[in-house]
Structure 1
Amino acid sequence: MNKKRILIVGGTGYLGQHLLQSFANLRTSSSYDLAFTYCSTPPSDLLHAFPQSLSFPLDLRIGDGFDFITDTFGQPDVVVNCAALSVPRACEADPVAAMCINVPKPLVSWISSFKEKETLLIHLSTDQVYEGTKSYYKEEDKTCPVNTYGRSKVAAEEFINSNCSNFAILRSSIIYGPQTISPVLKSLPIQWIDDILSKGNKVDFFYDEFRSPVFINDVVGAVIALTKKWVIDGIPMQLILNLGGPERVSRAQMAKVVAEIRGYDASLINLMSASSVDRGVKSPTDISMDINKLVNTLNIAPISFKDGVTLTLLNR
């Protein structure tokens, strides 16, 4: 049996690195060849950690680099697209860049150029495709984003649905977990809360903005389950799945869990309404998600927020 080829687009980011690590651990038993892309220069510690994995420069906006991947690695069996401009404020400041980067037109075109066999595209979307006016959104609910980031992700979903015959779109909530092998520059949510509470000063947290934060291992588990489903069954899919944790929690509730685990004084958590702050970008109020379809389709059960935070703080 030929080894299956897995390409992780955006492999130097937070999710990309965790996927690299997990697929590398699976590779011997599951017969995977692994490659990843990077935008500028790949971190040397990442290359050292995965010496058997191929790395490729790629400009996802214009597709510069795909020909070299084809010539060197060949057609992937699975492509996981983690690359995105994912900071809402940055998307609001440069909507053209947000649309260009987040709507993967060159990637889908490249995948579609292979004629002999299908490639599965696993694309990471966001909970911010929802408007945020109710609790526990389902995949069938109308997408009505309130900011540029959400609009760019809806546009990506629509483009993939119209131009790709074999895909799984994962609408992810806030992803949290331990730091990566090559530390990412962006602030990680649980580590940030832990650091700021450890200083002993009062900190404002929103009590009325709700999400379904998901532990990184559960995100990785969903991607691996989809990969195995395609590799074993070989039946093209067209799936959209909410990818969140099992609980609806506010920012303040997230902070309280960290405080409880670390033994910080809970009075340091000052409750504030999200509507009282201008963050330079609109933010949906409640985009908690119903994840029953994810659980039933992939037979996985995301862990509780408290358990995930405990694991995060133990492995910072």
Structure 2
Amino acid sequence: MSLKRVLIVGGTGYLGQHLLQSLRISPLSLAYTYNSEPPPQLLFNALPDIPSFRVDMRTGDGFGAVSNLFGQPDVVINCAAISVPRACEMDQEAAMAINVPTALVDWLLSFKVNKTLLIHLSTDQVYEGTKSFYKEEDDVVPVNVYGKSKVEAERYISAKYPNFAILRSSIIYGPQTIAPLPKSLPIQWMDSVLAKGEALDFFLDEFRCPVYVKDLVNVIRILIDQWISEHKQMRLLLNVGGPDRVSRVQMAEAVANVRGYSTALIKQVSASSVDRGVKSPADISMDITKLIQTLGVTPTSYTEGVTLTLHAIPCLQRCP
């Protein structure tokens, strides 16, 4: 029996690389796409047998090569997005064109037999941020272009494609990727600035449910296994966050506590005191009851996830 094919769209990004690293040890045939830059040499060296394809998410150019050389995937995981909210504000046209996967859905619909599960990464920023612990059925009222593009993507997939799982992810954190990314990762950034011993401002009134990257990978693995074993079409929407609602201050305090840095370095300020060039929802913490009940997962606590993350990198000053 031939191996099931899994295509990771946006495989050179943070989640994409973690998926490649995890799924490579499974009995699956993997491939991934990239866009602006060729795969980093470190990634290519680590995964030389996994084919990569350049794909333009605006036009769909490149999907034909995937069809010809890899074949129709059994599962597509769409991680491709402009995910920096300020970048979305600065180029709204690009945000909508890339974050709403019209070309990807059209390509999947072009196959004569629909045997592909689409796992699409959405965001907690679809919520307005005026209360705590949003549920999947709550109204989506995004306050910025990034959130609006992701809402449009969810609606497009739901209307056009018959077999999907949409995952509304919170801030994803965890160990560095095989090929380190140019942008800073949240826990690593907090560790680096606190290690310098300089005071820094953190928001006390902006709340999220950060999700440990390996938990998110595990959720996706479970969905892949369910589709391959049961072949029952899905129309699934899940909040995928961690179990803890934390402010930016609390996020930094956990890093300081694990490392042994002084929490006096963490200065508490209101998010309203800083102009970031984009509106940011205040509280988009998520209720993950449906995730736990549907897939039987036990998400990693934020403190444990921070500990696991920091143990993967050296301490930058004397640690206990």
Q: TM-score, normalised by structure 1?
A: 0.98
Mapping of residues 54-93 of structure 1, within 5 Å: 54-93=51-90
Aligned to 2:278: 281
Secondary structure at the residue paired with 1:25?
coil
How many Å separate the matches in 2 of 1:74 and 1:38? 17
- For 1:71-90, what per-residue CA distance to the aligned partner results, in whole angstroms no more than 9, with x for missing partners? 00000000000000000000
Mapping of residues 154-169 of structure 1, within 5 Å: 154-169=151-166
Q: Does 1:127 align with 2:131?
A: no
- For 1:245-290, what per-residue CA distance to the aligned partner results, in whole angstroms no more than 9, with x for missing partners? 0010000000000000000011110000111111110000000000
Read off the aligned partner of 2:165 and give its amino acid letter: A
1:206 to 203, 224, 248: 203
How many Å separate the matches in 2 of 1:48 and 1:265? 40
Identity among equivalent pairs (%): 62
Aligned to 1:138: 135
How many Å separate the matches in 2 of 1:8 and 1:102? 15
Secondary structure at the residue paired with 1:139?
coil
Secondary structure at the residue paired with 1:12?
coil
How many Å separate the matches in 1 of 2:154 and 2:232? 20
- For 1:167-201, what per-residue CA distance to the aligned partner results, in whole angstroms no more than 9, with x for missing partners? 00000000000100000111100000000011111
Mapping of residues 29-40 of structure 1, within 5 Å: 31-39=27-35, 40=37
Read off the aligned partner of 1:76 and give its amino acid letter: P
Aligned to 1:238: 235
How many Å separate the matches in 2 of 1:41 and 1:54? 12
Q: Does 1:153 align with 2:150?
A: yes
How many Å separate the matches in 1 of 2:147 and 2:251? 23
* 1:47 Cα offset (Å): 1.3
How many Å separate the matches in 2 of 1:276 and 1:175? 25
* 1:54 Cα offset (Å): 0.9
Q: Does 1:315 align with 2:312?
A: yes
Aligned to 1:23: 23
How many residues end up aligned between the 2 structures? 312
Secondary structure at the residue paired with 2:135?
coil
Aligned to 2:215: 218
Read off the aligned partner of 1:285 and give its amino acid letter: A
Secondary structure at the residue paired with 2:25?
helix
* 1:116 Cα offset (Å): 2.0
How many Å separate the matches in 2 of 1:45 and 1:264? 32
Read off the aligned partner of 1:282 and give its amino acid letter: K
Secondary structure at the residue paired with 1:48?
helix
Secondary structure at the residue paired with 2:24?
helix
Read off the aligned partner of 1:20 and give its amino acid letter: L
How many Å separate the matches in 2 of 1:11 and 1:290? 28
Read off the aligned partner of 2:255 and give its amino acid letter: V
Secondary structure at the residue paired with 1:204?
strand
Secondary structure at the residue paired with 2:158?
helix
* 1:17 Cα offset (Å): 0.2
Bigger Cα displacement from structure 2, 45-54 vs 4-13: 45-54
Structure 2 gap ranges (5+): 314-320
* 1:117 Cα offset (Å): 3.5
* 1:25 Cα offset (Å): 1.7
How many Å separate the matches in 1 of 2:113 and 2:144? 40
- For 1:125-159, what per-residue CA distance to the aligned partner results, in whole angstroms no more than 9, with x for missing partners? 00000000000000000000000000000000000
Q: Does 1:98 align with 2:91?
A: no
Secondary structure at the residue paired with 1:51?
coil
How many Å separate the matches in 1 of 2:114 and 2:103? 19
Structure 1 gap ranges (5+): none
* 1:52 Cα offset (Å): 1.9
How many Å separate the matches in 2 of 1:46 and 1:87? 23
Secondary structure at the residue paired with 2:23?
helix
Read off the aligned partner of 1:181 and give its amino acid letter: I
